[in-house]
Structure 1
Amino acid sequence: MKTRVPLRTLIAAALLLPGVAAQEARPRVEVPDRVEFNRDIRPLLSENCLKCHGPDSRSRKANLRLDTRDGAFSEFDKGRFAVVPGNLEKSELWKRIVTSDRDDLMPPAKSGKKLTKPQIETFKRWIQQGAVWQGHWAFLPPRKPAVPGTRTAGWGRSAIDAFVLARLEAEGLTPSVEADRATLARRVTLDLTGLPPAVDEVAAFVADQDPNAYEKLVDRLIATPRYGEHMTRFWLDLARYGDTHGLHLDNYREMWPYREWVIRAFNENMPFNRFVTEQLAGDLLDNPSLDQQVASGFNRCHVTTSEGGSIEEEVYCRNVFDRTETFSQVFLALTFTCCRCHDHKFDPVSQKEYYQLFAFFNSMDGQEL
């Protein structure tokens, strides 16, 4: 006699099996022997703690910040410290993540977050090992790392290649075969000029047996006007350049002298410190040349308007906001815009610091409409 299995049982089994298989296939998470804050701890704090204990003062709970060293290591309540290096029993952070009391457990159940056993062990080791705090990687001074060793000899041509090869070997991969010379000529020409090479240029490179043929090709491409034009495209995107007003009828405006200055700067290999100084304050230099005054057009690349209903003071403030935020993005790689209204939620910038920088750019003369 055959036994009938209910259809709903089969469906339930079919739905459960992939989940079981996925759990079995999931790699075992290892806890590092030596815990590093930026690599191992900061991501856990960011994911599980900073919504209530981060930079946002309005949503912060228990007067505790875990996004700064001072906040994590200082007394946040009478006799209570979130982290006491080397001492688990005095570290409130540790006690809260291992407690069996649901009212004290962190992250709280209502957050929908729960630390895994390896994550809890990672916190434990970090505190036991002295709770070494690291600044955000973006603000650490650069230091020269040791060049990694590799199993494959003779492949790399520079120290950078050693890092690439070491990672490939760690992932069980091998480098691709070297591109043929025609492909190399096409790639480097596109990289440096934004244009494909002519057929005769490719043929000349393929036929050139000089060991320095590639270096000669690069030097020749950098010496062409096309190089400066191509590099300028990327900078003008950052500088929010446009040949038109960018608003309403979007009519033509006379901004091209600034564009031409940038092209010349790249083609003449202008030192970067001059490139920055002349754009931010070329008109304030002693006896500035016409070129240096044109360079300061960087500050005037914002949207412009002559609409009859515009309020000049409002447009002026909008332009100062634009200069402040453009400077922060281009030169600091930070997004300042949030700080118009409040301290930044994740970048280390306060509203006060925003308006201190705003004050610097709030000193330009000229008609706004």
Structure 2
Amino acid sequence: PAPERAQQPAAPVVPAPPAVPLQQVYPPQPVAPPAMQYWPQYAQPSAPFQPWPNAAAPRPRKERSEGWIGKLLAVAGVAVTLIGVVLLLVLAAQAGILRPEFRVTAGAVLAGALVGAAWWLNSRPGGRVGAIALASTGLAAAYMDVIAVTTIYDWVSPPVGLILAAVIAGGGLMLARLWDSQHLGLLVLVPLIVLAPIVTDGITLLLVGFMLALAAVSLPVQLGKDWIWLHAARIAAAVLPLIVALAVPYFDNRDDLWLAGACGIAATMAVVAALILLPGTKNRAAMALLTAAGVLPVLCVGLAVDRVIAALMAAAVSAALLAIALIGDRLPGVPGVARHIFAATSAVAALIAVTVAFDGRIAGPVLLAMAVVVALAGRGD
């Protein structure tokens, strides 16, 4: 079997077919392009029509009466007119020129005419400064007239005179608020501080009461207004006559208690006005300092009354200011510098109360105890 197997012919070798590319076997088929993504189209809002901006209109030229020269001339006119009114009321009475009825009537007519002219002038272009000067002069002349009929001629009682003066002052200051003019308010208050003692022939209780009434009726005018200078004039109108009366022995002993009461009223008005006006003012430090000046007569009242009364009044001021400083976080406008000024004024008032009430042997330990309490209380501040 082996030889037979060797004689069989070998199988023919078939060559492998050549390799055919895949692209020739399966030609590429057309493929649909990918679908395009289209976002919905919305109509864009058209820009509003804007006309070509016109050139800015030139600012109107400032009237000369609105400059400082016009204001200076207006103030000079106020001073000259008020001096004339004082001469009419005082010197004419001393020289016997004209009858009192004519003098008083002439002063009233002049005051009314000046206020009426001011109202008319304020409605005209460029007449604001002149209107303010005329109005302040007329109102001040009316004040002089009221003081004259009250103190020189004794035609009306002092309470009636104070009521009339307060009504005139309120009208003038309401006019200042209506015209939004702090200058008018100042020209109503400041001339009276200088000229009223001339008409009353010195510092009297009537003058003190008149100035307190003037300071009281001017407070509502400041509501909503940041008129710090008008507030300073109010404080000066109430404080200056009291300081002069305390420094110079004008009054008899029987009037000392009335003077002390006036000092207490002035201090109360200063503190209440500060609490009302502090939320609306930007200069709170000045407001607090003016409040400290307003309580100054109480701290000096020991010059006129007994030491017990003076010590009690100073202690009351100290307690009131300390209470305001302690609850200052709950009072609008008080936190910050005003609170510190109130606390310092309270400490000064307490110091004065102790030194007035006690002699050196007792005042020393009391002051030391107060200093320790203040140091302990101020650790966290």
**TM-score over 0.5 (shorter chain):** no
Whichever of the two has the greater Rg, that structure is: 2
TM-score by length of 2: 0.21
TM-score by length of 1: 0.21
Larger helix proportion of the pair = 2
